[in-house]
Amino acid sequence: MSELPSGKPGHRGITRLVKAYQNSIKGLAAGYKHEEAIRMEVWILLLGTLFLLFIDMALYERLAMWFCLMLLLTVEILNSAIEATVDRIGLEYHELSGRAKDLGSAAVFIAMIFSGVIWGVLLTRHFFF
């Protein structure tokens, strides 16, 4: 049975890992360069990380808060990938294109709510109880 072309080079082993790492760095750099939302969330992640390094909370609470920020950035990167793909296909309005972009935006919104609730509960518990 022949394999369908995937557009991926056939690297294996450590070469595959190195290439995957390089592609990931390229993706992060492109996202930071071209997407305002990604830039904002990278800065939120950096500032949040600094805050979490200096606050006197249990390690598991700080990790939960940090993972929320990482999740938010991850979802934003995926949303940006969806938007770039849809725009690559065509810039004219299409109901399915709009739906894809709206669903990506909804995922970011849910990740923001999730992060906000976790941060709010843990900070309220830490400072007021």
> Catalytic residue positions?
76
Q: What is the DSSP string of 31-92?
A: HHHH-HHHHHHHHHHHHHHHHHHHS---HHHHHHHHHHHHHHHHHHHHHHHHHHHHHHH-SS
